[in-house]
Chains A and B, each alone.
Chain A
Amino acid sequence: MSLPKLGDRDLRLDLFRGLALWLIFLDHIPSNIVNWVTIRNYGFSDATEIFVFISGYTAAFVYGRAMREQGTVVAGARILKRAWQVYVAHIFLFAIYTAEISYVAHSFENPLYHEEMGIFDFLQQPDITLAQAMLLKFKPANMDVLPLYIVLLAGFPPLLWMLLRAPAAALGASALLYVLTQHFEWNIPAYPNGSWVFNPFAWQMLFVFGAWCALGGADRLSVVILSPVTAAVAIGFLAFSFFIVLTWYIPGLDALVPRWLEERMYPIDKTNLGLLRFFHFLSLAVLTVRLVPRDWPLLRSPWLYPAIVCGQHSLEVFCLGVFLSFAAHFAMVEINQGVAMQIVMSLLGIVIMVATAALISWYKAIEGRSPRSRPGPPGATLVGGGV
């Protein structure tokens, strides 16, 4: 197995997307002590922001080149094909989820949990629920990220066209949509009620910002990104957000937060990508770019290979992670739920994710479709490669 090479592809993207996938997996295992390592416990944003930003970045990187070289129609068609693949992956995950929940509904009974059994109600109306699931309106717990991604990809072709011609205007349009969404509370309805947990009209801003950075925006911003003032502001903001998160857990600390600040700050909205979450992500990103240079030798070392290879096959690894989090929970319920078991399940899940990603790389290599052996667009795996 060859280690990832440093080409024109920025391995940092793969590294951090791989890490984000691990964190998403860990966060999806309930009552898991290993969850304490995940970034959502230390600040406003979480792994979802990293995932969406990097996905926008790589989408623009791969399809931007395709659009220049192969034309708008071909690149647009490839993007839509990718959206379709993500859709199929989502429906596959839904089938696994339904199998698990049906099993539990059938085998578990306890009067104490009469109320919780309400989540099985949807099994009584498969006619409605299955159709709603295929329309992406019915989304069970922890299955909200892929639908967001499908919508973002489906809307990406015209946006990419615009980003290549007038990047500033495209970014401005995206920001305007974000602002209008906050103001008019636009969102896509969900079933049985409510609306999407990740509002695509709001989250698109992070995706588009990632795409804009990939198409030259990062270079234009490099003076700002690398300035010590920016770094200081970012460190200050991370410290501030860590302190605010502490006040949610430790009674008494709360008194130190002035009321005017509370009134402006809350709620920190995940559904609509609240600005504090956005800034928290930007702070993390700015410091990361400073601390981890593009030609960082460790990126080619075996130590980071596990995360990088996961990031290179992120659609497959993401789906696998959702499945593994179900499976880990299932094993904990059926066998043992002690702390040791939680740690073992968390590590085992990550090992399986890495092994699967390595296997996919190997398949691509033997089939001559490796990102490195193929001329033309470098294969970003979530978005382009290996189709």
Chain B
Amino acid sequence: MRRIVVAVLCALSAGVAAAKDGNECIAGAGTVAPEFSLPHVASGIAKNKLDIAVIGSASSELTGPGGTNIAYPIWLEQTLRGLLPGVTVKVTTYTRARETASEMGAKLPRVIAETGPSLVIWQTGTADAIRGVDPEEFRVALDDGVDKLRAADADVVFVNMQYSPRTEAMLAVTAYADAMRFIALKREAVLFDRFTIMRRWNESGVFDLYGATRTTNVAERVHDCLGRLLAEVVVSGARLAPVVGKGTE
């Protein structure tokens, strides 16, 4: 029953993307359509210049054999360049292991000053859960962050935790995931539900997230898919935005 529902949702929402590259991880992700629009991304695209900053902790970094960066921001940038021909897309990453949401919030002004982004992709939550930060403090940090970003004419896409079945019983992420979803709804910000996507992948067998491995094969494919899905979300979010015409509203 649940499978059928997921399958129908996939066919409806991600069907286009799946047909395009035939990649089952995109279809297996289920619906990722953004709930809210990304107006600043839309105006960036209109000006043929899209600057994106990724703020995150260790799960936004991944180094493959030979030390090359193979994390999702790279795939995001590549995919956006393909989807938006003629637009100069630049993705800058500000990742730091173990950094909490309020520490990330504190460096937002620097990020804004350095890159002047149209969009900030804000991955956070896991470090807060590991360090046992008060979920209320986490929630306030996200709320304040949205204020800062909106004041700087930047959209925000929140990225929640990874689905990590092995550590699920030991790391209580629910309170933080709930806080993030709550702020996203309240502030009409886009939430990229990485947790649910990865759980669907695991349930439907697209990726085996239980297996122990030293290689980066699975990790690289997961990041690749996440990056492309994020690109999809960014472009759809921009399409939802009302067209900004000159002189009119």
Contact = CB atoms under 8 A, between A and B. Distances in A.
A194 B182 contact: no
A30 B169 contact: yes
A270 B212 CA distance: 36
A339 B165 contact: no
Contacts, number: 127
Interface in A86-136: 97, 100-101, 104, 107-119, 121
B136 A254 contact: no
Contacts of B131: 192-194
A195 B132 CA distance: 8
Nearest to A118: B130
Interface residues of B, number: 50
A338 B162 CA distance: 19
Given A114-B59, A194-B134, A329 B222 contact: no
Given A31-B199, A190-B132, A333-B165, A141 B171 contact: yes
A241 interface: no
Interface string B152-180: 00000000001011111111100100100
B142 interface: no
B237 to A, nearest CB: 14
Contact of B166 (A28, A108, A269): A108
Nearest to B61: A114
A58 interface: no
Nearest to B164: A116
Contact of B212 (A100, A110, A194, A247): A110
Interface stretch (B18-26, B203-211, B240-248): B203-211
B167 A326 contact: no
A109 B167 CA distance: 11
A337 interface: yes
A116 B168 CA distance: 9
Contact of B139 (A104, A113, A192, A267): A267
Interface of A: 28-31, 97, 100-101, 104, 107-119, 121, 140-142, 190, 192-195, 247-248, 251, 254, 262, 267, 269-271, 325-326, 329-330, 332-333, 337-339
B139 to A, nearest CB: 7
B213 A339 contact: no
A119 B167 contact: yes
Which 4 residue pairs of A and B lie closest in terms of their CB atoms, listed nearest first? A115-B58, A112-B219, A329-B169, A30-B168
Contacts of A112: 62, 162, 209, 216, 218-219, 222
Contacts of A333: 165-166, 210
A271 B171 CA distance: 18
B1 to A, nearest CB: 9
Contacts of A262: 186
B97 interface: yes
Contacts of B134: 194-195, 271
B35 A111 contact: no
A112 B139 CA distance: 26
